[in-house]
Amino acid sequence: MAVSKTHANSILLFLATMIAVAQANFNRDVAINWGGDGRAQIVDGGRGLRLSLDRYSGSGFQSKNYYLFGRFDMMIKLVPGNSAGTVTTFYLTSEGPDHDEIDFEFLGNSTGEPYTVHTNVYSQGKGDKEQQFRLWFDPTAAFHTYSIVWNPHRIIFMVDNIPMRVFNNNGASGVPFPTSKPMRVICSLWSADDWATQGGRVKTDWTKAPFIAHYRNIRLSGKPCATASSCGSGNDTFSNEAWQTQGLDANGRNRIRWVQQKHMIYNYCNDRPRFPQTPHECKGSRF
């Protein structure tokens, strides 16, 4: 049986479209959970999502599914110009008491002043593990990829595939590590001008509203569970994907050293007034 060339081409086109759709689709992967009255909008046929903030409300979205471990990639273009007081987020969080959380938060600034990238890890309800960074590019000029890898061994924060921070599962050390509570991915844009910019000294300029952040290329790799209780133990071998054992190779270790030496502006590990005793997970080789 002969398949006509046009027919074959249209099958190929269809398959290519299916693959593109499988890669990024906000309609399929997320629900708008805040600011549904137009402040949060899925755009470009599901390929992008726009969040906005005005003086009445911010906006946000969350993954439809829960994940117990995974790799989560998001391209974000942050609020340009005077973004002081605004906070754009991309994080994972569990629900209920003693929650676990893995945070990327982007703290806006006055025009021409740099954003602060704020990271934190909560385990069993306890956070207090902040590290902050400057980016080596203008995050408002173009989309960049921000990634969270979470496997049973470690959490890796990455920017354009460059590791920025690693939080290891120290096992026997007694430092809690998130291993049992499924998390959702949440992104939001809100105003926190009581603390975000220069410790709250610089307020949001509402005459510049609405503030807009753009998201694109969402990629949630991991086993999706419709409810938190249906995730199982998270260590079943449902697939064999690189993130499940991902760590840092020699190149990754070089790059994270570069980021931490040149671009880190705050590290809780070195904050003696706050932690007179070095937190356990900060001792020894961290990568």
Ligand X SMILES: *[C@@H]1O[C@H](CO)[C@@H](O)[C@H](O)[C@H]1NC(C)=O
- What are the start-end ranges of the E strands in the chain? 30-34, 40-43, 48-53, 59-63, 70-77, 86-93, 101-107, 116-122, 131-133, 144-150, 154-159, 162-168, 184-191, 211-221, 264-267
Neighbours of 72 (CB within 10 A): 24
Stretch that binds ligand X, among 60-68, 97-105, 157-165, 192-200 (CB under 6 A): 192-200
| 197 is an interface residue for ligand X by CB under 6 A | yes
| 113 is an interface residue for ligand X by CB under 6 A | yes
Which residue lies nearer to ligand X by CB, 38 or 199? Answer: 199
101, 113, 241, 281: which one is catalytic? 101
Which residue lies nearer to ligand X by CB, 32 or 119? Answer: 119
What distances in angstroms separate CA 31 from CA 26, 130, 196, one per listed residue?
8, 28, 26
| 198 is an interface residue for ligand X by CB under 6 A | yes
| 89 is an interface residue for ligand X by CB under 6 A | no
In angstroms, the CA 140 to CA 84 distance is 13
Q: What is the amino acid identity at position 218?
A: I
From residue 45 to residue 74, what is the string marking binding to ligand X with x (rule CB under 6 A)?
A: ------------------------------
Which residue lies nearer to ligand X by CB, 114 or 279? Answer: 114
| 116 is an interface residue for ligand X by CB under 6 A | yes
Own/partner pairs for 110-114, CB < 8 Å, 24+ apart? Answer: 110/82, 110/84, 110/197, 110/202, 111/81, 111/82
Tokens of 226: 């419709």
Clarify whether 105 is annotated catalytic: yes
| 107 is an interface residue for ligand X by CB under 6 A | yes
For 148, residues 6+ apart whose C-beta sits below 8 A from its C-beta are 71, 72, 90, 91, 92, 102, 104, 155, 156, 157, 158
| 140 is an interface residue for ligand X by CB under 6 A | no
| 109 is an interface residue for ligand X by CB under 6 A | yes
Tokens of 142: 């173009």
**Cβ 233 to ligand X shortest distance, Å:** 4
Clarify whether 95 is annotated catalytic: no
| 235 is an interface residue for ligand X by CB under 6 A | yes
Nearest-CA neighbor of 212 among 124, 89, 83?
Answer: 83
When binding is defined by CB under 6 A, the residue of 233, 240, 261, 277 that contacts ligand X is 233
| 120 is an interface residue for ligand X by CB under 6 A | no
Which residue lies nearer to ligand X by CB, 173 or 180? Answer: 180
- What dihedral do alpha carbons 245, 249, 251, 254 form, nearest 10°? 100
Stretch that binds ligand X, among 13-21, 72-80, 196-204, 279-287 (CB under 6 A): 196-204
Tokens of 68: 């117990």
Binding residues with ligand X: total (CB under 6 A): 12
Which residue lies nearer to ligand X by CB, 60 or 85? Answer: 85
Cβ atoms of residues 186 and 91 within 8 Å: yes
Which residue lies nearer to ligand X by CB, 63 or 132? Answer: 132
**Cβ 268 to ligand X shortest distance, Å:** 16
Which residues carry out catalysis? 101, 105
Give the footprint of ligand X on this chain (CB under 6 A).
107, 109, 113-114, 116, 179-180, 196-198, 233, 235
